[in-house]
Structure 1
């Protein structure tokens, strides 16, 4: 009786959260983050438990075959949803239909050749293997594509390990004790469904939390970046510097301010569309030329910043010259009807500074050096205090 009540509660949880996931996916529009896949997983598993309640016990029938196929297809839907959440474009219906068709055929073959115990044991064994594969994927993700979600991924791994272990234990009980292991009044079934009900209560809000965190991170990223070039804006540079200078290994940084020479003339001659192309070209050169760990940003108009972290004056000078030379030499295919454009930049370099609060002062220093470079002929680098002729 207790297990039957738990299965009824489990069905209710799964169906309610299936509707919630579907509603959330409708609000996310283009980027659904796998929420529609999670909705399908909950729906499949909920329908499987409804069929189990309707069966009343182990049986060989079409309802039982459908029940087992839906049960096995549900973790596949969750797995595909997780892949969608992390940006992998995977289909939903073809894998689910393939799993359902293949597993239905396998059930018929096992039932006729090995009997009902083997068919029920196959479901537990296959479920355990699927959940084990999910645990391995989560552990791999913690070390690679989901490093920013370390705590959440460890939590999911522990929960999935629990259901994996219970299915493996059910497999062994079936192999040794037969269908008696599936008695709804048995202590194992009660424990199994208590865990499943707890899982169905805890996991869906946790998935919603992951979606909210990812959306919040994306909004924070949008707020910290220039929309045209996707380089850091002033806010993004300040936040990144605060993180850097709060670390124990932080050393004084240098700031490079770059200004595109004669940019107004480019806009007036070719139009603002071509001017935007030139800005995006300079941004692309910066991304390719700065060292890993350095910060590149755009602070408005034709002005760009590069903040060199963990580098001496000679390294900063080499970087500034490399940037200036790369921008000068690389052509910009801005129009289909005319020759490619070339642009140059003048670069002002600040003296070393320590702390995000010193950013404004470093920008003023670099700006003063930049205008000295402009007055001296442009297309050159200039240090705060003295010049480096390019």
Structure 2
């Protein structure tokens, strides 16, 4: 009769404990997935509440809520039916899983003021992917269908990572750091889905077992994202609202040009730069503007002011500051130029105003404006703006007395 050795006893104990360890690991993964569902649904409700407070401009929050709802429902179905189920519930799970990031993309487009439909693209994606799932299940089996989801998610998140990096260099330059962080986080999801695809191809459906270390790592990372990303989205919304309030306070409500406060802020920002050059102030006054108001009414007068603002913006060089000082008086600060350049800009602006016609008036009303422009001496700090304003005003009034529709340089 053989006497059991210590090694054989340890091996028997390991075989006895292995099922309990696997069961415990599966329970841990299930708890993590359950908490992930709770996070997603709670933040879904939070996004919906925020969107109701944002009135007309919801900044995509209601679409982010939809994305969280879709992903939360997908994981609930996975808890219900298991990660390797093969029925219609599993196909619905996969469709919801793929549609969720698509909803996040649509929400991001709305956040960046790119109006886009939501339901039609999502329904189209859902129908197409469900049909594709059915074909793959029929021809290649359930394992191939699970691999298809992992591959599709990996490619989708790879495209999202590139899009976020591109946005940080174009439409979201003021959020470049935030876009880089988002790209790193989304890149992590991409890498995990690519690993899942490889594991399914090499290990089969065993790679999706809830007791596997990969599944546990995957859901821990997803829980981390579900905890971190929603507060980041809320912070971005608050920042956007704060920027809009600051921008509103710095701009004229009619023409959307800078007001006096915005002009000073822009000057201070310019002169804080180490490479900042000199500046010249141009004060522009519309000739006989009161006559336009009295003859055609204040609505036409407002059209005329908006038209002058458009001409001012289109004539100014990149980097110049344009402002409405009040009434029919405007200002342009020519940056990084010399006296000759400032005078050429002023003359070009005067000619553009004289040759243009106020649009939007009724048939038979051909309204043209002229302007008198006073140009200040050079100045090199924001505190000199008041002195430059006095100089340009003096030159402007001299131009008025000399016949209007002309450019005058300050006489020092």
- The TM-score bracket by the shorter chain reads over 0.9
- Between the two proteins, the alignment pairs up a number of residues equal to 386
* 1:331–1:99 Cα change, 3 Å: closer
Name the counterpart of 1:385: 411
Distance 1:154 1:335 in 2: 48
Name the counterpart of 2:188: 162
Q: Does 1:304 align with 2:330?
A: yes
* 1:98–1:270 Cα change, 3 Å: closer
Residue 364 of structure 1, CA deviation: 0.9
Deviation string 1:322-357 (CA, Å, 9 cap, x unpaired) is: 111221222224642544122211111110011111
Residue 372 of structure 1, CA deviation: 1.4
Name the counterpart of 1:104: 130
Distance 1:208 1:233 in 2: 30
Residues 334 and 340, structure 1, Cα contact 8 Å, conserved in 2 = no
Q: Which of structures 1 and 2 has the bigger CA Rg? A: 2
Q: Does 1:293 align with 2:319?
A: yes
Residue 268 of structure 1, CA deviation: 2.2
Distance 1:307 1:57 in 2: 64
Q: Does 1:235 align with 2:275?
A: no
- 1:178-327 equivalence runs, <5 A: 178-327=204-353
Residues 334 and 342, structure 2, Cα contact 8 Å, conserved in 1 = yes
| Runs of 4+ with deviation above 6 angstroms | none
Distance 1:183 1:74 in 2: 23
Residue 146 of structure 1, CA deviation: 1.4
Distance 1:7 1:27 in 2: 31
- 1:21-60 equivalence runs, <5 A: 21-60=47-86
Distance 2:365 2:160 in 1: 55
Name the counterpart of 1:332: 358
Name the counterpart of 2:113: 87
Q: Does 1:61 align with 2:87?
A: yes
Deviation string 1:178-214 (CA, Å, 9 cap, x unpaired) is: 1111111111111111101000000111111111111
Distance 1:318 1:98 in 2: 56
Residues 307 and 359, structure 2, Cα contact 8 Å, conserved in 1 = no
Residues 109 and 116, structure 2, Cα contact 8 Å, conserved in 1 = yes
Distance 2:363 2:150 in 1: 67
* 1:127–1:335 Cα change, 3 Å: closer
Residue 159 of structure 1, CA deviation: 0.4
Deviation string 1:202-258 (CA, Å, 9 cap, x unpaired) is: 011111111111111111111111111111111111111111101111111000001
Residues 174 and 181, structure 1, Cα contact 8 Å, conserved in 2 = yes
